[in-house]
Amino acid sequence: MSECKKIEVMQSVYDKNDEVASQINKSLTKRGIYAVNVMGSPGAGKTSTLIQIIKRLQGITPYVIEGDIESDFDTKTLLSLGVKTIQINTGGACHLDSPLIGKAVDDLNIEKGVLFIENIATSSALRNL
Ligand SMILES: Nc1nc2c(ncn2[C@@H]2O[C@H](COP(=O)(O)OP(=O)(O)OP(=O)(O)O)[C@@H](O)[C@H]2O)c(=O)[nH]1
Ligand SMILES: [Mg+2]
């Protein structure tokens, strides 16, 4: 007869990630920056949608963090439109974690505005942002 055991998980594997994400969240909120995590399948229309939204923003500065495994195609397009954009290439990983986002946020020198993060795939890594 099989025995059923209940295993209690005491610590999430995302603990450290969530802690960093929470710090980024507080820092962005304090500086009046609203962050939007943009997720969707490859080719779903994320960048096209961002471009159309950004064109319609009035008096709000947009910033974009572009996540991609290898390419910087979307970043080049956004930069050519005058949008302050920074590229993160993960070199294989299919999600952006909060330390990567934290570094990109620092490098972007964001002032008050809206920060769009085009994510690579569905990720729980940004759930606290
Ligand atoms: N028909 C149609 N095509 C669209 C629409 N939005 C985007 N596209 C096209 O779909 C293709 C992919 O669009 P992107 O905006 O690059 O999609 P993405 O999700 O950013 O793609 P990745 O960053 O490569 O994952 C492009 O050729 C767009 O022109 C839409 O609403 N209708
Ligand atoms: Mg894109």
Q: Encode pLDDT of 59-114 as tens digits.
A: 999 999 999 988 999 999 999 999 999 999 988 888 888 999 999 999 999 989 99
* Chain position carrying tokens 């809206």: 114
Query: Given this model, what pLDDT does residue 125 score?
Result: 43
The torsion of the CA quartet 77, 79, 81, 82, rounded to 10 degrees, works out to: 170
Q: Which atom of ligand 1 is nearest to the CA of 49?
A: 15
In 3-state terms, what secondary structure has residue 117? strand
Q: Name the fold adopted by 24-118.
A: Rossmann fold (3.40.50)
**Rounded Cα–Cα distance for residues 78 and 30 (Å):** 26
- The protein residue with its alpha carbon nearest to ligand 1, atom 1, reads 45
pLDDT category of residue 123 using cuts at 50, 70 and 90: very low
Query: In the structure encoding, which two tokens stand for residue 103, read together?
Result: 């570094």
Query: Given this model, what pLDDT does residue 80 score?
Result: 98
**Rounded Cα–Cα distance for residues 17 and 102 (Å):** 11
Mean pLDDT of the chain: 89
Distance, CA of 19 to chain centre: 15
CA of 53 to the centre of ligand 2 (A): 14
* 108 class by beta-carbon count within 10 Å (0-12 exposed, 13-18 middle, 19+ buried): middle
* Chain position carrying tokens 């974009």: 64
CA of 123 to the centre of ligand 1 (A): 20
